[in-house]
Structure 1
Amino acid sequence: MRTGELMDLAWRPVEDGGEGTRAVLGLAGPPGAGKSTLARALVDGLRRRHGPDAAAYVPLDGFHLSGAQLERLGLSSRKGSPPTFDVHGYAALLRRLASRPAHDVYVPDFDRALDEPVAARHVVAPGVRLVVTEGNYLACDLPGWREAREWIDEVWYVDADAAERRRRLLERQLTGGRTEEEARAWVEGNDMPNAGVVEAARDSAWVKRVFHWSGHD
């Protein structure tokens, strides 16, 4: 699907809800499917169409556990798997955003250069009409993720060919400083197994749309 068409579909719950409505759109899908790129494209495009308060970006990746916590839990080698996120913190943020507080809400992100979460990189202003959030496990029927989904109006599943996802993931690891051997081992031993967990939720009843994103308008 093209970006312009997806923008129309994303904005529809806001229009249907009338003045003052805030909707939350969740983009699920396996690692490397293009979720974060699409989320940013939707937010940027909707701001151009409807003004600066039209949409805001809220990435799940800001709720990665820190390296110190992963080491404490013995999960350093499984970074990116479901238990390596603060899903309850993420659900609490979505609940807060859905309540439309009369003040800015600051949102964390993940810094790939630091390989750590960072606080307050994004902000959701009081007048924002659509929150676009994305993360691998938003469609999964797992503890914590179910609770987070209560605050999401629509869940879309962004898919991509497995070979293309591998290519993107390998490039990501190489850019992050791993050797080619290390990068391939990480993708096959961690990212692709995580993708299997995500793919099991692809056809869940609460997933409204499943599509490949073309990356074009």
Structure 2
Amino acid sequence: MALMSEELTFSVMRTGELAESAWELTSRRKGARAVLGLAGPPGAGKSTLAQALVEGLRRRHGPLAAAYVPLDGFHLSNAQLERLGLVSRKGSPPTFDVRGYAALLRRLVAEGDHDIYVPDFDRTLDEPVAARHVVRPGTALVVTEGNYLACELPGWSEAREAMDELWYVEADREEIRRRLLERQLAAGRTPGEAREWVWANDLPNAEVVEASRDAPWVKRAFHWSGHD
């Protein structure tokens, strides 16, 4: 499926407006499953928005309207990060199984007659977990999100091939820093450890993502208001 290349617009968007635009993708697919991707830096609110879109569409159009598929389920395990020497770079592009993620998206488009199980990342365990989500037969729209979906890096273009549209979720840098610090503190790091991790790892990752904001395959870029 080719991503549309209309003029990029920047704005503050509400959940209801975004849900309407997302639902329009299903009519273009004429009964086949559509896929919407949400890219953006860590801490921008992608996962919260994706789940809000899914919940809102299910309320409006029924339980098979939409399903949530997070890239974070394709984090490499801590054991694999240790093997590769990437523990200190967890969350950077090479610490994801991007080809596995792309393969799942292809299955979601091609296979619509049985349950397809979807992994997620458990922040308490600090590990990926299998089959936390399921995409049921007849599901009309998949909403998937991840930092690097718009990046021109090995493997990510293959993932984009399964998407009908790709949106970019922005947030103010200070807000991103605050959310990332809160995330690391909630994971059990001390304030000093949290600051060091965010400055040495999370913010450099955010810079990689921000460089993809104006990519030609990004349909729209916006700040999410967090409201309906």
User: With structure 2 as the length reference, what TM-score do the two structures score?
Assistant: 0.94
Matched, 1:202 2:213: yes
Which of 71, 86, 102 is residue 75 of structure 1 equivalent to?
A: 86
What is the DSSP-based 3-state SS (H/G/I as helix, E as strand, rest coil) of the residue aligned with 2:219? strand
The Cα shift of 1:21 comes to 2.4
Which of 27, 38, 55 is residue 15 of structure 1 equivalent to?
A: 27
**C-alpha distance in 2 between matches for 1:67 and 1:169:** 20
Match of 1:3 in 2: 15
Matched, 1:55 2:63: no
The Cα shift of 1:23 comes to 0.6
What is the DSSP-based 3-state SS (H/G/I as helix, E as strand, rest coil) of the residue aligned with 1:24? strand
Which of 184, 189, 197 is residue 186 of structure 1 equivalent to?
A: 197
Unaligned runs of 5+ in 2: 1-12
The Cα shift of 1:100 comes to 2.8
Unaligned runs of 5+ in 1: none
The AA in structure 2 aligned to 1:201 is: S
The Cα shift of 1:15 comes to 2.0
Matched, 1:98 2:128: no
The Cα shift of 1:176 comes to 0.5
Matches within 5 A, 1:35-184: 35-184=46-195
The AA in structure 1 aligned to 2:140 is: R
The Cα shift of 1:123 comes to 0.1
Q: Is the 8 A contact 2:70 2:144 kept in 1?
A: yes
Q: What root-mean-square deviation, in Å, do the aligned CA atoms of Structure 1 and Structure 2 show? A: 0.6
The Cα shift of 1:192 comes to 0.3
User: With structure 1 as the length reference, what TM-score do the two structures score?
Assistant: 0.98
**C-alpha distance in 1 between matches for 2:163 and 2:152:** 14
Match of 2:6 in 1: none
The AA in structure 1 aligned to 2:49 is: L
**C-alpha distance in 2 between matches for 1:23 and 1:189:** 37
After superposition, the C-alpha distances for 1:5-55 in whole angstroms (9 at most, x for unaligned) are 00001011112333x221100000000000000000000000000000000
**C-alpha distance in 1 between matches for 2:214 and 2:96:** 23
**C-alpha distance in 2 between matches for 1:12 and 1:51:** 15
After superposition, the C-alpha distances for 1:142-200 in whole angstroms (9 at most, x for unaligned) are 11001111101100000000000000000000000000000000001000000011011
After superposition, the C-alpha distances for 1:104-126 in whole angstroms (9 at most, x for unaligned) are 00000000000000000000011
What is the DSSP-based 3-state SS (H/G/I as helix, E as strand, rest coil) of the residue aligned with 2:99? helix
After superposition, the C-alpha distances for 1:81-102 in whole angstroms (9 at most, x for unaligned) are 0000000000000000010331
**C-alpha distance in 2 between matches for 1:140 and 1:63:** 16
Instruction: Give the total of aligned pairs.
Output: 216
The Cα shift of 1:141 comes to 0.7
**C-alpha distance in 1 between matches for 2:29 and 2:89:** 40
